[in-house]
Structure 1
Amino acid sequence: MNTALNYQPEVLVDTADLSREDWLDYRRLGIGGSDAAAIMGLSPFATIRDLYFDKIGVTPVIEEEEENWVAKEVGHRLEDLVAMIFAKKTGLEVFPVRKMFRHPLYPFMLADVDYFIRFPDGSIGILECKTCNYNAKDKWADDGIPENYVLQVRHYLAVMNMNKAYIACLYGNNENEFVYRCLERDRMEEEELIDQEKYFWEEYVEKKIEPPYSGKPDLILASIRKYNGYADKSIPEISISSLESRSLEKYLKLSEEKSQLEKRKKEIEAEQRALSVPFVELLGQGCKAVIEDGSFRYRITYNPTIRTQIGKENMEKLKNQHPDIYEEYTSTTESRIFRIKKEVA
């Protein structure tokens, strides 16, 4: 593969006046930068199977409320501010181009870039704008960049045929709580990324073949549940012969280890409660205390946790007496527990 060719990206569509729905439709025509991490099994948000279903237009059986929708909305709304802070701190010119681009050699590769940078020598680079909460700032420590963002920007550099990008992130409410990192184009890593994206598009999406799951187990389990739908206890017991029982033996062994640890945890907690009794008795209704023994000062807190809830019986009364209110303010969720029982064959 020769990624060193002199090429110019093609414009797929002008996005300035594009609706959200139309923009999503265009994204399904190929692979965007934020899709790259899912293909490589490194996305914190989606599996490769989720991405596949999105590209072929399959919607989840179970529609769940997006947990991180606020963070996404904040990130979108603050892109301009992040770009402004970056320009102020670096003195570099930044500007948007509201177009979705396509790689001329690999037309399945798309790029909708936040901002571009004009460097003093006249060359153009990429600026990717991010936000995160204060607790996530450690992911940027020691000149680090979250790996899913690295893959996203390498994808953009490939599509745009550019050699340099910056990723900027605002993690607080002032310009000092801000980091930016430079990322140079790496042709070897780019070739690997293009190979994986090409394989995903041609062997799975175009052929309508589901890719095998890869990535974080929690994401995979959530994806299986989302696309399989709710449990159906009327389905007869199935016989599984395609998987080895060694995994089940390991699962049972881990369950035993967990049981022993939980038993010890309960013993420790019981001992701690016993030790706390005289201190709680002296606190009475108080919530704070201090003890000094000459060398150390110990600060004790005994703060209340107040929770308002409707009991099971009252919930049933509400359902029977005010079904309209019950339906409006309650929601039904489903969780499933995986257990193994070992029997003699």
Structure 2
Amino acid sequence: MSICLNYKPEVLVSTEGLTNEQWLEYRRLGIGGSDAAAVMGLSPFCTMRDLYYDKCGIQAVMEEEESNWVAKQVGHRLEDLVAEIFSVKTGLKVYPVRKMFKHPLFPFMLADVDFFIDFGDGRTGILECKTTNYNCQNKWANDSVPVNYEYQGRHYMAVMNLDEVYFACLYGNNENEFIIRHMERDLDMEEDLIAEEANFWKEYVQKKIEPPYIEKPDLVLESIRRHYGPAEKDSETVKLSPKHLQSVNQYLNWKEQRAEAEKEVKRLEEEMKKSYLDIVEELGPNCTGKISSGNKEYMISYNPMYRVSIDKKALERLKIQRPDIYDDYVSVSESRRFSVKIKEAA
């Protein structure tokens, strides 16, 4: 597939005045920029299967969890501020276009761009506005762009037929805690992206066939949990197909290898403790010490760590004696543990 560059994006709908639900319905008509990494199996948030469920109206890509709704709102509400800081720092004019666009040659490719950039010489670029917290700024280290944002930018350049995208990310509370990254169009990567998106849309969404899981195990397990819901402890035992025996044996093999590795880790930890027993004895109740040797100085610390916890029995008493406090402050989250036991068949 060779990319034709003689095209202009088409307007799918004006987003001015759309409700959030209406906006989501239009997004389900194709693949948006924030979906691109999931199509490539590289999203940190959802699998290709999750995206398929969303596009088919089976299930939303991501649930609105209490743990992340604030971060989402902060990102949305600060878009205008991030764009303003970018404009001040670069001297470039930025402006929004409240429309959702589609690729005229690949109409399943959609774009709802944050802002456009007027370079002042007749060229137009794309500005994507992001926010993150101080501890996550390392994801942008060494002039890099997080991979999910990179594919979002490449998707937008493809739809809009533009050659440059800037990412502006605010990670603090002043203009100096601000990251700017520039990315140019790469037609080889774009060709691969279009091919993957076309395959996802035509072979899975349009044919109503679930795509395979290709992502990291934790993300896949979370995807399965979201789709099927909480565990049903009183449900019947499922008679699984013998085809899973290979997977079971692989699991048992890895479990055995992990047990051996854990033994070695414990042995090494014991040896490490033996090595500093005399140092701890000399420190006594003190928490720090130092050793000078030539032009080096070794700073030793032996600091206390405190952990506040409520044991299970105390928690049960709290539930019985003060159910009002228990309900207000105790939350229950579900995780599931996989195990295999082998016994002789009856």
Fold shared, TM-score > 0.5 on shorter chain: yes
Secondary structure at the aligned position of 1:298 is classed as strand
- Match runs of 1:33-182 below 5 Å: 33-59=33-59, 65=65, 67-182=67-182
- Match runs of 1:1-345 below 5 Å: 3-4=3-4, 6-59=6-59, 65=65, 67-233=67-233, 234-243=235-244, 245=246, 247-293=247-293, 296-341=296-341
For the residues of structure 1 that align with 2:288 and 2:74, how far apart are their CA atoms?
38
CA separation of 1:21 and 1:180: change in aligned 2, threshold 3 A: same
- 1:241-263 CA distance string (max 9 Å, x none): 33461x44443333222212211
Deviates more, 1:283-292 or 1:155-164: 283-292
Q: Which structure's relative contact order is higher, taking Cα pairs within 8 Å and 6+ residues apart?
A: 1
For the residues of structure 2 that align with 1:289 and 1:21, how far apart are their CA atoms?
61
TM-score, with normalisation over the residues of structure 2?
0.86
The runs of 5 or more residues in structure 1 that have no matched partner are none
For the residues of structure 2 that align with 1:312 and 1:122, how far apart are their CA atoms?
68
Aligned length in residues:
343
Deviates more, 1:221-230 or 1:320-329: 320-329
For the residues of structure 2 that align with 1:277 and 1:65, how far apart are their CA atoms?
46
For the residues of structure 1 that align with 2:64 and 2:237, how far apart are their CA atoms?
27
Secondary structure at the aligned position of 2:269 is classed as helix
For the residues of structure 2 that align with 1:221 and 1:96, how far apart are their CA atoms?
38
The runs of 5 or more residues in structure 2 that have no matched partner are none
One-letter amino acid matched to 1:50: D
CA separation of 1:58 and 1:324: change in aligned 2, threshold 3 A: farther
Deviates more, 1:167-176 or 1:188-197: 167-176
Secondary structure at the aligned position of 1:23 is classed as helix
One-letter amino acid matched to 2:206: E
CA separation of 1:160 and 1:285: change in aligned 2, threshold 3 A: same
Identity rate, percent: 58
After TM superposition, give the deviation of residue 229 of structure 1 in Å. Answer: 2.4
After TM superposition, give the deviation of residue 97 of structure 1 in Å. Answer: 1.5
After TM superposition, give the deviation of residue 281 of structure 1 in Å. Answer: 4.3
CA separation of 1:58 and 1:286: change in aligned 2, threshold 3 A: farther
After TM superposition, give the deviation of residue 314 of structure 1 in Å. Answer: 1.7
After TM superposition, give the deviation of residue 63 of structure 1 in Å. Answer: 6.1
Deviates more, 1:291-300 or 1:94-103: 291-300
Q: CA RMSD in A?
A: 2.9
